[in-house]
Amino acid sequence: MIKKIILGLCFFCIFVLDGFLERVCIVIFTICIYNIISNKDTEFLITSFVISYFILNLVIIIFFQQEVNTKTLELSDKAQSKKAIVLVYDGEDRRYNLSQRAKEIYYRDSIYSFFNMTYNLYKYKDAYEHLGSSQFKDKASVLRKKLSKKLNNEYTIVNSNLYTDNYIEDTLIDLVNRGYKDIILCPVLLTQGKDYDLLKKRIDNLGILKYEINIKMTDLFWNSKALANAYKEEIIGSISENKKSVGVLLVGLEKKNNLNEDILFREKIKKYLEYDKNYDIKVKLPLLENHKKDIIKTGDELLEYGIDRLYLVMPTSLFENIYIRSLGEYILKKLDIPDGTGFYYIGPFNENEVFVDELYKKIKLIENEGGK
């Protein structure tokens, strides 16, 4: 049975490893499964595979769940005259990275990752294989430069991440070591939720506040009328004169976001769309966690109205990642879209000028109010 458990480990490793190690596992699994079938030695095979699945989950958790290794805190005697602004994203690697994605899954799911680690890693890997490299960090860099320009280079602005390099801990320690005493944190998150709670917990655990570091945190974006209106304008602006009947799927993220704030933001977009009387617009508010099939079902219901164009809008993730992109492509393939009906995807605004303006306002507001 031990040999079969090892075989099962090779099988499931195929789904989470890439490159040379993935190919090695495929060769080993192919040879071993051929021998088992040839010898008709299939007793306890399914049981062994189930055991190996949980063993692999446990091994990944043990190796990758440890806290982020941070730099050494070495306070500078020379204080910086500038204030620092830290833009905090969830973060995403350009290529599939087993170690950092495993950390992300464990941070988000905690003990439940014992049951879903391998499955979630496979979803990440599959998305990367279908869509190629992520542009997340490139777009984050563009946002940082646009914000710096709008603030007339009055601040030192840096990017940091929760789930990939540069980690928020390393970024803050580096700034403190360089002599920055006033730091403004800008979470690039729409609502409170798991990511927001994790950010606060990791800052508290870092323990730098005792060194007389003044850290302020800007508000989140779920109540932004400007962003909600920007989505409305994006939709209305793309409707052609001969296609005035449209359906809109405003997809929310319950697992990632605070559900009430997520719904309020999408309801705001819906209200702005319904104010426009020039078009026949039908809006649905499905949740991603209700399964992709439910989103497709809701889309099919809109198509039954005979609409001219269907919009898939992902407004409650401020930055587009590989998974959001893969979801859009999956739904496009699965929807039964009639001939003559257009399909339009609107993802997160990323480095959009409206978003830059909102960031600017929140930074100036927290300075005027004296912080939190």
**Chain segment 162-191, per-residue pLDDT in tens:** 998 889 999 999 998 888 889 999 999 999
Domain extents for the chain? 2-64, 83-221+355-369, 225-346
Confidence of residue 56 (pLDDT cuts 50, 70, 90): very high
Domain 83-221+355-369 part of CATH 3.50.50.60: no
- What would the CATH number be for the domain defined by 225-346? 3.40.50
Confidence of residue 216 (pLDDT cuts 50, 70, 90): very high
Using CB atoms within 10 A of its CB, is residue 278 exposed (0-12), middle (13-18) or buried (19+)? Answer: exposed
Give the Å distances, CA to CA, from 237 to 232, 251, 307.
8, 20, 17
Confidence of residue 66 (pLDDT cuts 50, 70, 90): low
* pTM attached to this predicted model: 0.89
Measured CA to CA, the distance from residue 249 to residue 268 in angstroms comes to 14
Measured CA to CA, the distance from residue 85 to residue 334 in angstroms comes to 43
Give the bridge partners for 86, in sequence order: 158, 185
Q: Is 46 helix (H, G, I), strand (E, B) or coil?
A: helix
Residue-wise pLDDT for 84-103, tens only, equals: 999 999 999 999 999 889 98
The pLDDT value recorded for residue 372 is: 44
> Is the separation of the CB atoms in 355 and 227 below 8 Å?
yes
Give the bridge partners for 290, in sequence order: none
Residue-wise pLDDT for 125-152, tens only, equals: 999 998 888 889 999 999 999 999 999 9
Share of the chain above pLDDT 90, in %: 47
Phi, psi of 226 (to 5 degrees): -65, -45
Average pLDDT of the chain to the nearest whole number: 87
CB neighbours of residue 185 within 10 Å = 21
> Is the separation of the CB atoms in 101 and 95 below 8 Å?
no
Two domains, one topology: 83-221+355-369 and 225-346 = yes
Share of the chain above pLDDT 70, in %: 94
The pLDDT value recorded for residue 292 is: 64
